[in-house]
Amino acid sequence: MTITVLAVHLFLCVFDRLPFFRLLFSVLCHGVYSLNLKTFPFIQLTSLPFLASCVLVFADHFLWFNYFMQNHRPFMDIASFFGVCVWLIPFTYFISLSANDNALPLSDPNAADTIPSQQKKGLLKSLLGALGMKTQEPAIPTTHVTEDVSMSYMSTTPSVGMTSSVRSHYSASSRQVQNRKMA
């Protein structure tokens, strides 16, 4: 994808006569973005290539924004240029970093267990951890249900540990289901 975007930069220089040095700066930005591929998908938020990429995406945006403010073009041309030549590669990296690593397909399902737990965290949790903020654990604990759920609803005897309002709700619901089946 980066090579395609670089080819678009070349075509824009040749056919649309966009400024050479601004296009060269964008090409250099894409070179810095590609340095993140060395350790991809495990990118350290404090590494020099990642921090440089964050700065350069804003610099590239404002460089081209100033150019298009001085040289008016149709809106769709400007929007297409920004979408493909300025934002596509950085946003693609950002979106792929925020994906859950365990959701990626692996040839060996046990390989996910060899990844250190520090690297299994998503981008947002890593960023909040770097800023010193604690992430919250899930509010609802999950449990494993071993019995057949449909049979537990049909039972008229209340389960151990259920409150009386929940028991009466499920007992009334199961009676209504049984009455509907009979009718």
Query: What is the model's pLDDT at position 52?
Result: 92
| Domain ranges across the chain | 2-103, 149-182
pLDDT digits (tens, 9 = 90+) for 51-66: 899 899 999 999 999 9
pTM of the model: 0.55
pLDDT digits (tens, 9 = 90+) for 78-99: 999 899 999 999 888 888 776 6
pLDDT digits (tens, 9 = 90+) for 102-112: 555 556 666 55
Which residues, other chains included, contact 87 with Cβ-Cβ below 8 Å and sequence gap of 6+? 57, 61
